[in-house]
Amino acid sequence: MSLLPHHDGSALYVPEQEPALGQRVPVFVRVPEGADVRQVHVRTTGDGEPRFVEATVDRRDGHDVWWRADVEVRNPVSNYRFMLTGTTGYRWLNAAGQVDHDVPDHGDFKLVSHAPPPAWARDAVIYQIFPDRFARSAAAGRTPPDWAIPCDWDTPVIGRGPETPRQFYGGDLDGITERLDHLDRLGVNTVYLTPIFPARSNHRYDAAGFDTVDPLLGGDAALVRLADAVRARGWRLLGDITSNHTGDAHEWFTRALADVDAPERELYYFDVASGGGGEPAYESWNGVRSLPKLNWGSAELRRRFATAPDSLLRRWLQPPYGLAGWRVDVANMTGRRGADAYTHEVARLLREVVAQTRADGLLLAEHGHDHTGDLDSDGWHGTMNYVGFTDPVWSWLRHEDPAPRPAGPPHPAGAGPAVSGPAGAGPAGGRGQDGEPVPNFLGTPGGVRRRDAHAVLATMNSFRSLISWRSYTHSWQLLGSHDSARIRTVVGDAARQEVAVGLLATMPGTPVVFAGDELGLTGGNGEASRTPMPWHRPQSWDVGTFAAYRALLALRRDTPALRHGGLRWVHVDADTLVFLREATTGTVLVLARRAAGPPVRLTGLPYGDGAVPRPAGENAYGGAPALRPTADGRITLPGDGPTFQVWHL
């Protein structure tokens, strides 16, 4: 892949990162010296009408010509693209790349004048905790509830079936507080908890109320202790809220069920065709009757959930709890049912309330598939980027199918090892328990399919190009979560997991680590991945994987270009991805290989640019030799693999 004209929404190309409506802001396009570009225009569509402005040459820096034009932020989301004219005609450069044919506007670059996400989010490294499985405190040992199957910490997790949500291990919030030193060693600075409200399951997405913390987790006082301990380290604590549904034990729903004239009746969808057998008919999440769906057409729901002074959304953002924001469960379904289409209204409402309550509050949406139509609308700050990051990384690094293994004694469906063995151990990638395909988080039949890097890059670019740079960089990049298989099970060994973690730490977006991934834990699906942390068995930890996470997260923390820089792809082949992260503070070159192959030779890189206080070409991660260009400016990247390497240019 030769270097092409480039633009992205980072500060190197758009110096004004928080434009105001009506402002004119400069935008730059970088054109390699010698490219067939004689003239550059910027096309905008303010108020829906195309207009063209001619760009001028701003500067030359040895390898590139930088063209500049000013764009008016005419609308809250203002589109623009570049028309590059040469001797052979013109091409368009939009967020998807360079094309020689006309394309729709939805792939254009975007300037967004809505209030920006909180500044701290760009520097966040998030650690996701499933409270029941993280740690028991000295005060644990509370009497299990009637719905629970009590488990010892080493009881195998049941990965599927009716017992899955009933397994109760007894982790609590004080247990998390007691283990914050582990998070500190890892290098995270933000803690995200899956739901903590009373419920009738271990996952607690079936909330029985929103006014208190589950006593099984230690109650409200335990949350205060955890929040204080997190803040004392200069970190932030995020909560998890279900805006699409409650549990069927929630007091709102039980009142609505008991009395057709109750004011709570309008909070849900009753008298729909989902009932049967004499049971009350009501809408629920995916037909699961224990999760009745909320009706956001109700003004009373909006008041109770968001706008009232004592609403649940506000309560937990305020002292003494002081959550820094919310991850919104099933945000993609919230407000959507048949002809009802309240999703964007709800997103804007929740964001407004969060900002009123806590000016630096974050509102992050769960979205498992195409999120592009739900961002940039003054609602969610970003999304969990499963489709634009997790799934393509899985499909590229997924291990080849293993050979059939001999039949052995049966064991419970979904049960599997609590942890992997030494580095490189664990189930072969692409297969979960019993050799079955690892489920694709998006529900695609056949599990995770193995693809080459061309398809992976095309997938990433397809979704990235349809949202603003702001939404892309404030979305969560993750290798897995409590709702998916674990990355070690997908990739099959420590070497490929290191490559995955390298991408997590060096690509734009907010990196999220699911508790236990850093130890090499395994799990073949969302439920089986909810593995208790093996604190009492440190000999089982994959210390090499922990060291890789720690070093890569430290590299991200210490390298501004990895947190705030642009993204420019410079090479792709079936087994290799190479890209630049560029900022005014310096440039880094990243090489990710899933397998060994021919060395990669590159020319025209911005070698030695930026104010980096270290020799250009120095290896920053991976141990490869320093890069030294030949007389014609060529550098050669090593061909061994799997490997992940980073250099300062």
- Which pLDDT score, from 0 to 100, does residue 234 have? 98
List the one residue out of 112, 89, 101 whose CA is nearest residue 14.
112
Do 484 and 390 touch, CB atoms closer than 8 A?
Answer: yes
- Which pLDDT score, from 0 to 100, does residue 55 have? 98
List the one residue out of 25, 72, 64 whose CA is nearest residue 47.
72
Mean pLDDT calculated for residue range 17-27: 97
Least confident of 161-165, 273-277, 335-339, 424-428: 424-428
494-506 and 543-558 helices, crossing angle to 10°: 20
- Which pLDDT score, from 0 to 100, does residue 606 have? 84
Transcribe 340-409 into DSSP letters: EE-HHHHHHHHHHHHHHH-TT-EEEE--SS--GGGSSSSS-SEEB-IIIIIHHHHHHHPPPPPPPPPP--
- Which pLDDT score, from 0 to 100, does residue 613 have? 55
Residue type, 220: D
Peptide bond preceding 642: is omega within 30 degrees of 0, i.e. cis?
Answer: yes
Least confident of 56-60, 137-141, 354-358, 460-464: 137-141
Mean pLDDT calculated for residue range 38-46: 98
- Which pLDDT score, from 0 to 100, does residue 519 have? 98
3-state secondary structure 456-498: HHHHHHHHHCCCCHHHHHCCEEECCCCCCCCHHHHHCCHHHHH
Do 197 and 250 touch, CB atoms closer than 8 A?
Answer: no
- What is the per-residue pLDDT across 171-184, written as a single tens digit (0 to 9) for each? 999 999 999 999 99
CA 457 to CA 170: how far, in whole Å?
42
Give the chain's mean pLDDT: 91
- Which pLDDT score, from 0 to 100, does residue 632 have? 85
Do 476 and 373 touch, CB atoms closer than 8 A?
Answer: no
Mean pLDDT calculated for residue range 394-406: 70
CA 479 to CA 288: how far, in whole Å?
27
With cut-offs at 50, 70 and 90, classify the pLDDT of residue 346. Answer: very high
- Which pLDDT score, from 0 to 100, does residue 433 have? 42
With cut-offs at 50, 70 and 90, classify the pLDDT of residue 406. Answer: very low
With cut-offs at 50, 70 and 90, classify the pLDDT of residue 559. Answer: very high
- What is the per-residue pLDDT across 186-223, written as a single tens digit (0 to 9) for each? 999 999 999 999 999 999 999 999 999 999 999 999 99
Beta-carbon count within 10 A of 649 CB: 23
What angle is formed at CA 316 by the lines to CA 312 and CA 317, rounded to 5 degrees? 115
Residue labelled with tokens 């806590």? 358
With cut-offs at 50, 70 and 90, classify the pLDDT of residue 22. Answer: very high
- Which pLDDT score, from 0 to 100, does residue 412 have? 29
- Tell me: pLDDT of 553 over 60: yes
Residue type, 586: G
- Which pLDDT score, from 0 to 100, does residue 1 have? 54
CA 290 to CA 273: how far, in whole Å?
16
With cut-offs at 50, 70 and 90, classify the pLDDT of residue 96. Answer: very high
Beta-carbon count within 10 A of 77 CB: 17
- Which pLDDT score, from 0 to 100, does residue 376 have? 96
- Which pLDDT score, from 0 to 100, does residue 139 have? 75
- Tell me: pLDDT of 281 over 60: yes
- Which pLDDT score, from 0 to 100, does residue 608 have? 66
Least confident of 91-100, 134-143, 223-232, 271-280: 271-280
Mean pLDDT calculated for residue range 138-162: 91
Mean pLDDT calculated for residue range 409-436: 36
Percent of the chain clearing pLDDT 70 (strictly above): 91
CA 168 to CA 202: how far, in whole Å?
6
Mean pLDDT calculated for residue range 85-92: 96
CA 604 to CA 595: how far, in whole Å?
25
Least confident of 283-297, 418-432, 478-492, 596-610: 418-432
- What is the per-residue pLDDT across 599-617, written as a single tens digit (0 to 9) for each? 999 998 887 655 555 677 9
- What is the per-residue pLDDT across 297-319, written as a single tens digit (0 to 9) for each? 999 999 999 999 999 999 999 99
Does 402 or 353 have the greater pLDDT score?
353
Helix (H, G, I), strand (E, B) or coil at 67: strand
- Which pLDDT score, from 0 to 100, does residue 2 have? 65
Bin 482: left if φ > 0, else alpha if -120 < ψ < 50, else beta.
Answer: alpha
What angle is formed at CA 508 by the lines to CA 189 and CA 615, rounded to 5 degrees? 90
Both tokens of 616, joined, read 């250009």
Does 440 or 245 have the greater pLDDT score?
245
- Which pLDDT score, from 0 to 100, does residue 469 have? 98
